[in-house]
């Protein structure tokens, strides 16, 4: 991961911390490189709502750890 992000590695660690503090965050299911766009990484997270329902979210980031809006992969 350090090789992929280079100088942005600290931003990756900060995003992990920020994600862990999000309300109702149940699990950080994974961080991986996109299968289609090899310069994009995604965070796959699970949230648990008050009614017990689980909601899944994927957020995509570029190598500078800037959030990519819309369909990234």
For 8, what's the count of Cα atoms within 13 Å in the CB-facing half-sphere? Answer: 13
The reported pLDDT for the residue numbered 16 is 92
Token pair, residue 73, equals 């992969």
Alpha-carbon distance 8 to 47, whole Å? 26
The CA distances from residue 48 to 9, 17, 22, 24, 30, in Å, are: 28, 18, 11, 5, 16
Closest residue by Cα to residue 41 from 59, 21, 54: 59
Q: What local confidence, expressed as pLDDT, does residue 72 receive?
A: 57
Q: What is the pLDDT along the chain (73 residues), one digit of tens a residue?
A: 778 888 888 999 999 999 999 989 999 999 888 777 878 999 999 999 999 999 999 999 998 999 998 765 5
């Amino acid at each position: 991961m350090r090789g992929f992000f280079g100088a942005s590695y600290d931003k990756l660690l900060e995003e992990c911390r920020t994600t862990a503090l999000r309300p109702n965050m149940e699990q950080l299911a994974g961080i991986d490189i996109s299968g289609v766009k090899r310069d994009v990484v995604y965070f796959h997270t699970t949230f648990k709502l008050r009614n017990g329902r689980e909601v899944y979210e994927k957020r995509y980031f570029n190598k500078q750890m800037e959030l990519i809006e819309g369909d990234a992969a």
